[in-house]
Amino acid sequence: MPAIVAAGLERAFDEVLAVQGVDLQVKAGEIYGFLGPNGAGKTTTVRMLTTLLLPTGGSATVAGHDVATEAREVRASIGVALQEAALDPLMTGRELIRLQATLQGMPTAEGRRRADELLERVDLVAAADRRVGTYSGGMQRRLDLAAALVHEPRVLFLDEPTTGLDPVSRKTIWEEVRALNDGGTTVFLTTQYLEEADQLADNVAIIDRGRIVAEGTPGSLKAEIGNPHIRLALEEGSIVEAERACAGIGKLLPPVDGNTVLVEVANGAADIPLVVRALDEAGIEVGSLELVHPTLDDVFVAKTGHHLEGEGEETAEEAVEA
Amino acid sequence: MTQRLLLNLRVVRALGMRSVRQTFRRPQLMAPIVVFPTLLLAVQTGGVGAAVNLPGFPPVDSFLQFMLAGGIMQSLMLAGNSGGIAFAVEIETGFTDRLFSSPIPRSTIVLGRLVGTGALGLFASLWFLAIGLAFGVTIAGGVAGALVAIVLSTASALVFGSIGAAIALRTGSASVVQGLFPLVFVVLFLSTAFFPQDLMIEPAKTIAAYNPFSFIVDGIRDPMISGISVTETLEALLAIAGIGLFGLVLSARALRHRVRTG
């Protein structure tokens, strides 16, 4: 039985459709990456799947229970760590996990034992009796994760668990997610980081403006794109000339910034000399040149026409939330 | 069934205890409940204590004996407001999402908050009774009278908390709940909390006569200044029940709205 199934899932905020007919199926025991830029509808989808928000259209089941009609059963089967670590800064770490155990209906003694166990697991024993407000961002995320695990949920929702964390803390969370998944927990992970989805997910869905634009394993999605591209870092102001020079060699991809040109090439490394020659003939100075094999960002570009990372555009959902 | 009920009671107790701990750990929530009413009590008692000699003032041993109920009432209403602010902050920061995504009836989340506010009401009544006793006030109704005042105070805090919680749930905004702070004083000054009804002028006098908060404050005051009166106590209980019903209906509607809109 799939751990999560959504069929035509929709959520409207007044006249704006933030999530527009999302269909997805998450197999039990997999890590499912839900990738998209800010405001794409990731969090709204997670809030519906975790029963925090009622869908306005379509349906979804989690752990075999309908999110709209069997919300209590869904909530008993899932663990949730939301985007902003939902912690009370005035509680201690130990108090928070014990409270979570009570909320999950665990007897007091078992809740205490489980709290000790989880605090050790996420390496917070030394800070367990300190107020959460004194924790670093990474410690707060680890505590949030520990609280979500208190009842050993079958399905774990992690909404952007590493956003804003330093690389070391991010790696720690990744290791913990992998360990949980090895233990059989299904993980639904939303992220705006390509590397995170690439590293962790068995399957990925890419969402943009409330719609799923691609779904599959990271490998199969990248294979769809096929060709690698050459990434040229140029001196300022020469980007238009460089694009003109490279136009005949390969397909120009949307630029990521004002100094970089991306050229999709059919023959990989064999096309590099052509590019170098063309730029040389045009008198364009190149800072660096790199052959890049397809990434999930390329998949995103191919499906949506714009890049995933660095998107600053406000979407309908953000506009409504604002 | 019984097991589920016991589990829900455990949740309400845990959330109530958390709410009390939170208040004691956050001075800005504690100040309106204890510090402001105590200061106002001191200022009023010191400044207008001779009012007891005015014709129409009820027979009391001292102005402080009369004012204790007003101080308690102010503290209880501000406890309800503070509880609402704390609840709204939790909605803003997402802590309530943790509670809403747990397999508990969502009403237990509101009840937990109210139990916490009720406990603060109990604390406030004990605090003001202790101040009164320390400054020589005699509780006319004795221990039983003090107990009646304490029970009415605790129940009042609980129902005042329901209004704060309803507004927090409906708006999800701490600043909106905080904005009700001045309203507390309007309601208090248009009741018998600080002045005997006979010494008020119109239209305040008429408003105070029908203000349910007057019935509550009189119910708390009566055992202190003249002994337990069944009529005053019942009227206070009825007023508490009425406000409680209003608060519960508001809270239930606001909770439904929040579940629907996220």
Question: Of B10, B22, B260, which is closest to A90 when you measure between CB atoms?
Answer: B22
Question: Of B22, B94, B99, which is closest to A103 when you measure between CB atoms?
Answer: B99
Average pLDDT, whole number, for chain B? 88
Q: How many CB atoms lie within 10 A of CB A131?
A: 15
Query: In angstroms, rounded to a whole number, what is the distance separating the alpha carbons of residues B73 and B211?
Result: 13
Does the pTM surpass 0.95? The reply is no
What pLDDT, on a 0 to 100 scale, did the predictor assign at position A243? 86
**Which of A41, A51, A37, A22 lies closest to A321, judged by CA?**
A41
Q: A261 to chain B, minimum CA–CA distance in Å?
A: 41
What pLDDT, on a 0 to 100 scale, did the predictor assign at position B58? 84
Q: Are B154 and B79 in contact (CB under 8 A)?
A: no
pLDDT band at B86 (very low <50, low <70, confident <90, very high): confident
High-pLDDT (> 90) share of chain B, %: 33
What pLDDT, on a 0 to 100 scale, did the predictor assign at position A314? 36
Instruction: Inspect the interface and report whether the beta carbons of A82 and B18 lie closer than 8 Å.
Output: no
Q: For residue A263, which phi and psi values (nearest 5 degrees)?
A: -125, 115
Instruction: Inspect the interface and report whether the beta carbons of A88 and B90 lie closer than 8 Å.
Output: yes
Q: What is the largest CA-CA distance in chain B?
A: 60
Q: Looking at beta carbons, which residues of chain B come within 8 Å of A82?
A: 94, 97-98
Question: Of A50, A95, A99, which is closest to B101 when you measure between CB atoms?
Answer: A50
Question: Of B22, B93, B103, which is closest to A75 when you measure between CB atoms?
Answer: B103
What is the side-by-side strand order in the sheet with A4-13?
A: A16-26, A4-13, A57-62, A65-66
Q: Can you read off the two tokens belonging to residue B1? A: 């069934």
Instruction: Inspect the interface and report whether the beta carbons of B26 and A47 lie closer than 8 Å.
Output: no
Query: In angstroms, rounded to a whole number, what is the distance separating the alpha carbons of residues A173 and B223?
Result: 60
Query: In angstroms, rounded to a whole number, what is the distance separating the alpha carbons of residues A32 and A228?
Result: 25
- pLDDT tens, residue by residue, B41-59: 888 888 777 777 888 888 8
* Distance between start and end Cα atoms, chain B: 29
**Which of A42, A104, A43 lies closest to A72, judged by CA?**
A104
Q: What is the mean pLDDT of residues B156-178?
A: 90
Structural domain includes residue B232? yes
Q: Can you read off the two tokens belonging to residue B239? A: 């007023």
Average pLDDT, whole number, for chain A? 86
Question: What are the Cα distances from residue A65, in Å, to A6, A149, A155, A186?
Answer: 11, 19, 12, 15
Instruction: Assess B262–A contact: CB distance below 8 Å, yes or no.
Output: yes
What residues are paired with A184 via a beta bridge?
Answer: none
Structural domain includes residue B135? yes
Q: Are B86 and B22 in contact (CB under 8 A)?
A: yes
- pLDDT tens, residue by residue, A205-230: 999 889 998 889 888 888 777 778 89
pLDDT band at B24 (very low <50, low <70, confident <90, very high): confident
Q: Can you read off the two tokens belonging to residue B49? A: 């204590």
- pLDDT tens, residue by residue, A256-302: 777 889 898 888 888 889 888 888 888 888 888 988 887 777 788 87
Q: A290 to chain B, minimum CA–CA distance in Å?
A: 43
Number of domains in chain B: 1
Structural domain includes residue B55? no
Q: Could you tell me the sign of the dihedral formed by the alpha carbons of A179, A184, A185, A191, in that order?
A: positive
- pLDDT tens, residue by residue, A115-173: 999 999 888 999 999 999 999 888 998 899 899 889 889 999 998 888 877 888 888 88
High-pLDDT (> 70) share of chain A, %: 94
CATH architecture group of domain A227-293? 2-Layer Sandwich (3.30)
Which is higher by pLDDT, A317 or A202?
A: A202
Query: What value, to the nearest 5°, has the Cα angle with vertex B95 and ends B90 and B96?
Result: 80
Helical segments of chain B, H only: 2-25, 27-30, 36-47, 63-93, 95-100, 106-134, 142-171, 174-178, 181-189, 204-210, 212-225, 230-261
pLDDT of A312 strictly over 50: no
Q: B105 to chain A, minimum CA–CA distance in Å?
A: 8
pLDDT band at A313 (very low <50, low <70, confident <90, very high): very low
Question: What are the Cα distances from residue A160, in Å, to A19, A34, A196, A317?
Answer: 18, 9, 10, 17
Structural domain includes residue B52? no
What is the side-by-side strand order in the sheet with A78-81?
A: A78-81, A155-159, A186-191, A31-35, A203-208, A211-216
Domain boundaries, chain A: 4-216, 227-293
Instruction: Inspect the interface and report whether the beta carbons of A80 and B98 lie closer than 8 Å.
Output: yes
Q: Which residues of A touch B (CB under 8 A)?
A: 47, 50-54, 72-73, 75-76, 78, 80, 82-84, 86-88, 90-91, 95, 99-100, 102-105, 131, 147
pLDDT band at A309 (very low <50, low <70, confident <90, very high): low
Q: B193 to chain A, minimum CA–CA distance in Å?
A: 34
Instruction: Assess B11–A contact: CB distance below 8 Å, yes or no.
Output: yes
Instruction: Inspect the interface and report whether the beta carbons of A88 and B100 lie closer than 8 Å.
Output: no
Question: Of B14, B93, B102, which is closest to A75 when you measure between CB atoms?
Answer: B102
Which distant-in-sequence residues (6+ apart) come within 8 Å of B118 by Cβ? B16, B154, B155, B157, B158, B161
Instruction: Inspect the interface and report whether the beta carbons of B93 and A84 lie closer than 8 Å.
Output: yes
Q: Which amino acid is at B229?
A: S
**Which of A19, A22, A6, A121 lies closest to A74, judged by CA?**
A6
Q: A302 to chain B, minimum CA–CA distance in Å?
A: 33
For B5-16, give the secondary structure using H, E and C.
Answer: HHHHHHHHHHHH
Instruction: Inspect the interface and report whether the beta carbons of A100 and B102 lie closer than 8 Å.
Output: yes
Query: In angstroms, rounded to a whole number, what is the distance separating the alpha carbons of residues A50 and A67?
Result: 7
**Which of A311, A273, A308 lies closest to A291, judged by CA?**
A273
Q: Are B200 and B117 in contact (CB under 8 A)?
A: no
If phi over 0 gives left and psi between -120 and 50 gives alpha, with beta otherwise, what is residue B167? alpha
Judged by average pLDDT, the poorest of A75-79, A191-195, B114-118, B140-144 is: A191-195
Q: Could you tell me the sign of the dihedral formed by the alpha carbons of A185, A150, A174, A51, in that order?
A: positive
Element of type H or E holding A74: helix A71-77
Instruction: Inspect the interface and report whether the beta carbons of A147 and B98 lie closer than 8 Å.
Output: yes
Q: Looking at beta carbons, which residues of chain A come within 8 Å of B97?
A: 52, 80, 82, 86
Burial of B203 (0-12, 13-18, 19+ CB in 10 A): exposed
Q: B95 to chain A, minimum CA–CA distance in Å?
A: 5
Query: In angstroms, rounded to a whole number, what is the distance separating the alpha carbons of residues A83 and B90?
Result: 15
Query: In angstroms, rounded to a whole number, what is the distance separating the alpha carbons of residues A274 and A291?
Result: 13
Q: Can you read off the two tokens belonging to residue A134? A: 């004194």
Q: Are A127 and A93 in contact (CB under 8 A)?
A: yes
pLDDT of A321 strictly over 60: no
Query: In angstroms, rounded to a whole number, what is the distance separating the alpha carbons of residues A12 and A10?
Result: 7
Instruction: Inspect the interface and report whether the beta carbons of A54 and B93 lie closer than 8 Å.
Output: no
Residue B199, domain extent = 2-39+66-261
Q: A197 to chain B, minimum CA–CA distance in Å?
A: 25
Q: Are A80 and A27 in contact (CB under 8 A)?
A: no
CATH entry 3.40.50.300 includes domain A4-216: yes
Q: A300 to chain B, minimum CA–CA distance in Å?
A: 29
- pLDDT tens, residue by residue, A73-116: 999 999 998 876 688 899 999 999 999 999 999 999 999 999 99
Q: Looking at beta carbons, which residues of chain B come within 8 Å of A90?
A: 21-22, 25-26
